[in-house]
Structure 1
Amino acid sequence: MVSENAAKLAVLIDADNTRPRITDGLLAEVAKYGTAHVKRAYGDWTGTSLKGWKDHLLAQSIQPIQQFAYTVGKNATDAAMVIDAMDLLYTGRFDGFCIVSSDSDFTRLAARIRESGLTVYGFGERKTPKPFVSACDKFVYIENLPYADRAAAPADETPVPTEPSSAAALMADPGLLNQLRNAVEAASDEDGWANLANVGYIVIKQRPDFDSRNYGYPKLSELMAAIELFELDRRSPGDGKPGVVYARERRRQP
């Protein structure tokens, strides 16, 4: 099994459907899951609608793929991305794909890639239809990604929480609480302690768009500490290795 950091990834960007200023944050996020061996952005580069992409393409060595808009109202970019994705899939050189779009037209593509045993990471705005989100192994909302000038964000863009959600607000979310409780239970040992990495893995398997940043917390450990239903324990394996965080429900405590 290939570790995430060693995974070879293909990053395919629907430039018609993605804002260029998130590129730096996007690729930083992709680097958490592996190395981007292919970086392509698709659109009609002969028009003016994509002119903001030029500097970002050059800075991040992203290859622009030209796709003419043959018919008004029809998105030829989607078809070009799907064809390229399948070509890359059949090479057998990749461990996963990153599909960057808020368009539900890529739902079947994501499912097909997963059927081949590869991991699919989706990136899109919060408006992304749920079928596409669910078709991915993990889905990241681009509103959670950092970019240089948030002050210039359009009025119609959903802002990232500037303040973490309060304990009261988190406790009032039964869906969140049940998911975390069930994941801790599933990953726990005889004493009720669960490795937090395994907890996050289980939750994402059930809900690909789960992200502690959705609630204003950079890390899952910070989110769970804020909920106050769990106790956390950081254990050091020694030899200078980073500590491992474990969690269990407080009601289990003797």
Structure 2
Amino acid sequence: MAKSADLLAVLIDADNVSSARIGAVLGEIAQYGTASVKRVYGDWTTSNLSGWKAAASEHVIQPIQQFANTTGKNATDSALIIDAMDLLYTGRFDAFCIVSSDSDLTRLASRIREAGVTVHGFGERKTPPAFRNACDQFTYLDLLAEPDTETAVPTVRERTPTKQLRADTKLVAGLRASTYAASGEDGWANLGAIGALMRKHQPDFDSRDWGYAKLSDLVRATELFEVAPRPGGGVQVRDRKAAAA
């Protein structure tokens, strides 16, 4: 998790994200640092963005007007990309948060990462793999809190049982490979390092996809790993198969 002092630039594509989700998105972003820039892009003369006007005001997001001067071209993406590069060149930001489900922003995410700056992506399930994989971390909107009630809570998925988790070969292989890569001579690995490696190879990895709020809960549920307190704080993990060898 980013330090609270980290400065973030939050850029939102209003054409591809519902305004009903933005409260939840900003709540998630708050875990990574301080959103010192928050901008949302779209053609505010159109009726389909009417919901965004109230949301932008409520969450103090600067609306950026971009007229659709011609059909078949996404002017919103172009404006967002230009602003993102201007902000990147200032050297002020530790990370960018791009809220969109549009593959047209794939190259932008890659370019920001080439500069050594972290990219957090947020979008719907329909988001193409190219954009998801271009981010350091990608979060699906349906896993976040619903902001339309005062007592909003995260979308709760039914927990995937142990048998199904073990049958998920991609998940098990990823956890085992990450545990091995992060482990010391005693076979124990820092849980945080495991999570970082999982997201490095699969940016949209999120324990909430299996109904577990925490990675430690997901790892325990597989019953394939030992999970224990780490000396000095935190959690450590060891593959039971490796420990028995």
Q: Is the TM-score greater than 0.5? A: yes
Q: Aligned-pair RMSD on alpha carbons?
A: 1.8
Secondary structure, aligned partner of 1:56: helix
Matches within 5 A, 1:170-189: 170-189=165-184
The residue type equivalent to 1:128 in the other structure is T
Q: Deviation per CA, 1:113-149, whole angstroms, max 9, x where unpaired?
A: 1111111111111111111111111111111111134
Partner of residue 107, structure 1: 106
Number of equivalenced pairs: 240
Amino acid at match of 1:246: Q
Does the Cα contact within 8 Å between 2:220 and 2:227 map onto a contact in 1? Answer: yes
Gap runs ≥5 in structure 2: 150-154
Confirm or deny that 1:246 pairs with 2:236: yes
CA deviations 1:20-52 (Å, max 9, x no partner) are 111111011111111111000000111110111
Preserved contact between residue 161 and residue 215 of structure 1 (Cα < 8 Å): no
Separation of aligned partners in 2, 1:236 and 1:26: 34
What does residue 229 of structure 2 align with? Answer: 234
Asked whether the equivalents of residues 138 and 204 of structure 1 are also in contact (C-alpha less than 8 Å), the reply is yes
Please say if 1:212 is aligned against 2:207: yes
* Pair 1:41 & 2:40 matched: yes
- Report deviation, 1:59: 1.5
1:167 is matched with 162
Question: How many Å separate the matches in 1 of 2:115 and 2:243?
Answer: 43
Tell me what 1:88 maps to: 87
| AA matched with 1:209 | D
What residue ranges of structure 1 are gaps of 5+ in the alignment?
A: 151-159, 238-242
1:162 alignment partner AA: R
CA displacement at 1:73 relative to structure 2: 3.0
What SS does the aligned partner of 1:4 have?
coil
Matched residue SS, 1:226: helix
Contact 2:2 / 2:31 at 8 angstroms: preserved in 1? no
Q: Is the 8 A contact 1:107 1:131 kept in 2?
A: yes
The residue number in structure 1 matching 2:190 is: 195
SS in 2 for 1:21: helix
**Once the 2 structures are TM-superposed, how far is the Cα of residue 161 of structure 1 from its aligned partner?**
5.6
Alpha-carbon distance, 1:168 to partner: 1.3
Moved more, 228-237 or 19-28: 228-237
| 2:67 maps to 1:68 | yes
Query: Is the Cα–Cα contact under 8 Å of residues 157 and 209 in structure 2 kept in the other structure?
Result: no
The answer for the alignment partner of 1:57 in structure 2 is 56
- State the one-letter code of the partner of 2:128: P
Amino acid at match of 1:251: K
Secondary structure in structure 2 of the residue aligned to 1:33: coil
Counterpart contact for 1:161–1:214, Cα < 8 Å: no
Q: SS in structure 2 opposite 1:16? A: coil
Does residue 1:126 correspond to 2:116, yes or no? no
User: Which amino acid letter does the alignment assign opposite residue 33 of structure 1?
Assistant: Y
Partner of residue 25, structure 1:
24
